[in-house]
Each structure stands twice: as C-alpha cells, then as structure tokens.
Structure 1
Amino acid sequence: MSLPKHAVNHLYDYRKAISSKPFSARGKNVVRCQCCLLAEQFCTCADRTQVNSELAFLLIMYDDEVLKPSNSGRLIADIIPDTHAYIWSRNEPNRKMLSIINDPQYQAYLIFPAEYAIANQTVVSHVDPAELPVGKKPLFIVLDGSWREAIKMFRKSEYLHHLPMFSFSPESAASYALRKGARDFQLGTAEVASLALFAAGEPENAAVLQAWFALFVESSLHGRSRNKREELVVLEELKGQYLATLAVKK
C-alpha cells in the first residue's frame, strides 16, 4: 500500500494548480509519475518508506522549485515524517510557515554556510537534541532553490536572521549529478539534509536518505536517456542498497 501524500506533494499540487501555463523542463515529453516526478517506468513510489526520527525539516522553496523533476527536496519528505514545505515570498511570508518556525515545540536552525551569517548571528556545527529543553525538537530549515536563489532568500528574509545557523563543511564534493553547484559546498537539498541528520545524531537515517537520493539520481538519469537494458542492473543494485539501509534501521 502506498503512503499518503506528504507536504511537498501537496505543495506541488497547489503550485501546479495556480500555474498559468505548464511548467517546461528538460525531458518535458517524458510521461512522469505525478508523485515522485520520475519517468513512470522508473517510479520509486512503491519503495518509499518513512523512518522514525526525532528531527523535523522545513523546506522554503523558491517559486517553481517544487515543480522541477530534478528537485531533491521532496526526498526529505519521503523519508522524514515531520517535514513541512512552503513557497518563499519576499513580501508576504506564509503565516503558517512563520508559526511553525516560532512553534514552542521546535528549536529552529537555519542550515546555511557560516560565511553568510549576519552580525551577531549564532553559528553552530552540531546539534544535540538531548541538550535542548524538554519537549523541544530540532527543526532544520532548508532554503531550496539554486545557490543564487538560496542566497537571495536568506538575505531578503529577516525572520531567518535571528535563528541559529547550522553550518558544516563536508569533506567530499557533491555527488549530485543533476544540478551540481559551482562550488564543492553546493550540495543537493537531500544531501544537505543527510549531512544534517548525521551531524544531529541520526547516522542510520542519514544513510537511508543518502541511499534514497542515489536511487533518485540514477532513476532520473535513466528517465532522460540512459535507459539501455543492460544498465538497469545499476538501478536494481541501488534499490537493494536502499532496502538494506532500511533493514539496518529495523
């Protein structure tokens, strides 16, 4: 039985409904699953499994980011149950989004490179949920868009400037093959979330998300052009690796 739609799925439906014209992207003629946005023959929805996590995520997405098949932000919601998603607005921030950021059950952290912190903004390199007051849950805020868009969202959103900034420098370069950034620290959104999970004490969940991301990337590439029959074994191997990470969780 498939899982119900999550926050990013609902945001996709909303953004698509208010669009004045169909969103055009590379591979626009591909017949896609309307949930995972992969080509139907490579749909991964049947394998989507959520884990138990003591962490929460909030995706602030730049305008049409949620419509892009290459977006990996939805993978976070695939795996982490307590995930929220909203479209960024420069002039009128979503009130529900602001209420989540300020909800007393959460301690919000903005995931962003420390070099962009404003004056007096706290920067932390790790988060330990056990050190928070009783009843507080870490809420990781991720700005989801191109690197230029993410910088714009941060600079134009004063409600983010008082939050502690969670910053880390991964030792390895991004493996994101769809829309890789120009600099090594520019990771795919799901990669950023995976690093956050690891740094916040949930390495097994980080491994699940990493494996889910790897399957997503390969499935996306096959849906574009790399669809030779002999190459499908790679997909099966990645699916097996993903299922193995779930088995470790259990």
Structure 2
Amino acid sequence: MSRIQCPRCLRPQTHCLCPLIPSLDSRTRVLLLQHPSEVNHALNTARLAAQGLKNAELIVGEVFEDLPALLNQPGYQARLLFPGEEAQPMQTYTANDEPLLLVVPDGTWRKARKMLHLNPLLAALPRVTLAEGGVSRYRLRKAPGPGALSTVEAIVQALQTLESPVSFEPLLKPFEALIEGQIAAMGEETYQKNHGR
C-alpha cells in the first residue's frame, strides 16, 4: 500500500513540506533545467527552489527544443550558473544593472555537462560562478569537491550575492527539514555510521 502523497511537494502527506516553503520575490529570474533522473529523487531541491521563488520556472528534460524562447526574456540578461575557465564571479547588482535570467542546470555534474553538450545554445551562454568556500548543509551526501552545493543552496548563495542585502535564507527551511526527516528515518546510529565525520 502506497502512502498518500502531497501533490505540491510530492512528499508523503505525513511529511509535507509545504508549510515551510516560502513565496519570495526576486529581481533575478531563475530558470531551472532539471535532468529527468532528478525528478523522483527524494531530495529534489530544484523543485523546492522553484516553488519558493515567485520569479522561477522549472523545466524537466535533457534536450530543450524551446531554449531560444526560454533564454530570450525581455528585460533580462541570460547567464549560466556553472563553473568553467570563462565563468565570472557574481557581483551585487548596481542600480542600473539589467537583472539576470539565471539558468541553473540540475543534475549530477556528469548529467549537467551532458545537458550542456546536447544544448549548444546553453553551453554558449556567458557563465557565472559562486564565490569559493561555500559549505553545504547537505549532510546526507559526500560532496564531490570543496564548495559543492545542492541546487537550492547554490541558488540561495547566488541570489544573496546578486540582490544583497536581501536574504533568501527562508528557501533553505524546507531543505533542512527534508534532511532532518531523512536522518530521523534512517536513525541516528545508521546516519553516524554512514555520514558522520
């Protein structure tokens, strides 16, 4: 027998995160391009980010046929949030800056790189990157390297840089509750054995 699921956050009704999901305004438009393999992941942080931001859109796929229209948003400059040699560190907006359309691939690093390969228009976008030294709160997964963040954490850090002094911390509340719920479900002993430092 399957558990009743919340239709919005897709969590079991008994662990619904909706009361914790904020409804935040942002000057920046966030376009999340989610690899299909992430859709049913228990910790789908891209969905949480899209639900918590009024100016965000989540699209699932590997090849995005309507990418030209998605990237050509009047009044926004499209930038890809992805590391690379040409990536520019993000700066706080000045009064005259045109806001960004921040394009965020969501998937493992390997799958995100594949999405760029399959969508040359995406790969050709000017890239922006986060400040170094971000520490993930994602205690359930070993980070592939220093500064590796979950999708929602990367978006929060990006928006806090761009739109300082506005705080986007409320976006992390459902994420933290999700992690606490997973730890509780596995039990402290199992968590410490597999994830404790």
Classify the TM-score, shorter chain.
0.7 to 0.9
AA partner of residue 109 (structure 2): W
The match for 1:187 is 149
The match for 2:191 is none
Aligned residues of 1:37 and 1:69 also touching (Cα < 8 A):
no
The 5 Å alignment of 1:223-242 reads 224-226=185-187
CA distance in 2, matches of 1:94, 1:85: 15
The 5 Å alignment of 1:147-162 reads 147-162=109-124
CA distance in 2, matches of 1:76, 1:129: 21
Aligned residues of 1:180 and 1:188 also touching (Cα < 8 A):
no
Evaluate the alpha carbon distance shift between residue 130 and residue 139 of structure 1 in structure 2; reply closer, same or farther with a 3 A threshold: same
The match for 1:94 is 65
Aligned residues of 2:30 and 2:101 also touching (Cα < 8 A):
yes
Evaluate the alpha carbon distance shift between residue 153 and residue 48 of structure 1 in structure 2; reply closer, same or farther with a 3 A threshold: same
- 2:47 pairs, out of 74, 78, 82, with 74
The 5 Å alignment of 1:117-156 reads 117=86, 123-130=87-94, 136-156=98-118
- 2:80 pairs, out of 104, 110, 122, with 110
CA distance in 2, matches of 1:220, 1:37: 15
1:28-87 alpha-carbon deviations (Å, 9 max, x no partner): 966542321333222121332202221111111112312222110012112210111212
Matched, 1:45 2:18: yes
Aligned residues of 1:174 and 1:184 also touching (Cα < 8 A):
no
CA distance in 2, matches of 1:30, 1:72: 21
Q: Give the match's secondary structure for 2:7.
A: coil
Q: TM-score, normalised by structure 1?
A: 0.65
CA distance in 1, matches of 2:106, 2:123: 17
Aligned residues of 1:180 and 1:187 also touching (Cα < 8 A):
no
Evaluate the alpha carbon distance shift between residue 46 and residue 174 of structure 1 in structure 2; reply closer, same or farther with a 3 A threshold: closer
Q: TM-score, normalised by structure 2?
A: 0.81
Percent identity, please: 26
Aligned residues of 1:190 and 1:209 also touching (Cα < 8 A):
yes
Matched, 1:198 2:168: no
Structure 2: state its 5+ residue gaps. Answer: 189-197
Following TM superposition, the consecutive aligned residue runs of length 4 or more in structure 1 with deviations greater than 4 angstroms are 28-31
CA distance in 1, matches of 2:161, 2:6: 33
CA distance in 1, matches of 2:21, 2:132: 26
1:163-207 alpha-carbon deviations (Å, 9 max, x no partner): 221112431432213444321232110011011011102454332
The 5 Å alignment of 1:170-181 reads 170-181=132-143
- Between the two proteins, the alignment pairs up a number of residues equal to 188
CA distance in 2, matches of 1:64, 1:210: 22
Aligned residues of 2:22 and 2:53 also touching (Cα < 8 A):
no
CA distance in 2, matches of 1:85, 1:53: 15
The match for 1:208 is 170
- 1:55 pairs, out of 28, 39, 61, with 28
CA distance in 2, matches of 1:131, 1:158: 32
Aligned residues of 2:35 and 2:60 also touching (Cα < 8 A):
yes
Structure 1: state its 5+ residue gaps. Answer: 1-27, 118-122, 228-250
Higher helix share: 1
